[in-house]
Structure 1
Amino acid sequence: MALYEHVLLARQDLAQAQVDALAEMATKIVEDHNGKVVKTETWGLRSLAYRIAKNRKAHYVMLEIDAPTAVVAELERQLGINEDIVRFMTVRVDAHEQGPSAMMRRGDRERARGDRGDRRRDEREEAAA
């Protein structure tokens, strides 16, 4: 079986429970066709680079899938029909990434940096002293 990373974007006006239900629906499709979802990550509500179907933001969900090609084709077919899905993309990978994805690590790094304060105010205070 092949390894895939599948990212789907759900409409911005959905509640988190509805987004989780969409992820469960995708997982059920894969498992019903003899595939396996290795990991599911919810990246949250994020801004889009450009407006898609009148949406400026979308809920991002990533699934790491171990399944035959026919399973991915069926998953993409059913997501294409669903009105709550704005976009989706599936990429074949050689190996799944261990630990959190790059998107999840980026959020951790930003929280670890903490508040840097107002730099200009600090520079003005140093110049006045």
Structure 2
Amino acid sequence: MPLYEHVFLARQDVTSQQAEALAEQYKGVIEAHGGSVPKVEPWGLKSIAFRVRKNRKAHYTLMNIDAPPAAISEMERQMAINEDILRFMTVKVEELEEGPSAMLQKRDRDDRGERGFGGDRGFGGGGGRDRGFGGGGGGGGGARRFRDRDGGDVEASADVEQTEE
């Protein structure tokens, strides 16, 4: 039978338990049509890139599925009817991923602790200077230019001695 990865987004108003119950409901649909769901992985409540049906967050859930295409069609049909499901996507894969998915590995990365040194991350010297547009100690940019009274540009440089007249 073909292998699929299926992700669905449930409304932010439903609880985590209700989102897991939805996953179990659709797992039952797959099993009723002769398939199996070896892994159901809830990713939790996450922000979405744009509003979907007035929701800014959604409960994400990943399902690895081994089922005939008819079972996938029936599950997707039922998801399209359900108002608690905002979006879903099913992708056919060559083999199912073992262990935790990339989303859960990303979550585990936050638990690693400190970097081991207190310095910056090595993105250039910066030295804490203001990098924004709010004024501050600008940098580089070449020689400063001033305007004389006639409207022409005059270049000021550190090489030129300035004399009083």
Q: TM-score range by the shorter chain?
A: 0.7 to 0.9
Does residue 56 of structure 2 align to residue 56 of structure 1? yes
Cross-structure match for 2:107: 107
Q: Read off the aligned partner of 1:19 and give its amino acid letter.
A: A
Q: Read off the aligned partner of 2:56 and give its amino acid letter.
A: R
Cross-structure match for 1:91: 91
Superposed displacement of residue 119, structure 1: 7.0
Coordinate RMSD, CA, aligned: 1.9
Superposed displacement of residue 110, structure 1: 1.7
Moved over 6 A (4+): none
SS of aligned partner of 2:100: coil
Q: Alpha-carbon deviations, 1:12-60, whole Å to 9, x = none?
A: 0111111111010010000000000010000000000111000000000
Cross-structure match for 2:161: none
In 2, Cα distance between equivalents of 1:53 and 1:119: 44
Which structure carries more helix by proportion?
1
Does residue 31 of structure 2 align to residue 31 of structure 1? yes
Superposed displacement of residue 98, structure 1: 1.1
Q: Read off the aligned partner of 1:51 and give its amino acid letter.
A: R
The percentage of counterpart residues that share the same residue type is: 52
In 2, Cα distance between equivalents of 1:7 and 1:69: 16
User: Structure 2: 5+ residue runs without aligned partners?
Assistant: 121-126, 129-165
Q: Alpha-carbon deviations, 1:61-94, whole Å to 9, x = none?
A: 0000000111100000000000100000000000
Superposed displacement of residue 11, structure 1: 0.2
When residues 82 and 115 of structure 1 are mapped into structure 2, their CA distance, relative to the original with a 3 A threshold, is farther
Query: What count of residue pairs does the alignment treat as equivalent?
Result: 121
Q: Read off the aligned partner of 1:28 and give its amino acid letter.
A: G
Superposed displacement of residue 111, structure 1: 1.7
Q: Read off the aligned partner of 1:102 and give its amino acid letter.
A: A
SS of aligned partner of 1:80: helix
Q: Read off the aligned partner of 1:70 and give its amino acid letter.
A: A
Q: Read off the aligned partner of 1:95 and give its amino acid letter.
A: E
TM-score, normalised relative to structure 1: 0.87
Indicate the structure whose relative CO is greater, using CA pairs within 8 Å and at least 6 residues apart.
1
SS of aligned partner of 1:73: helix
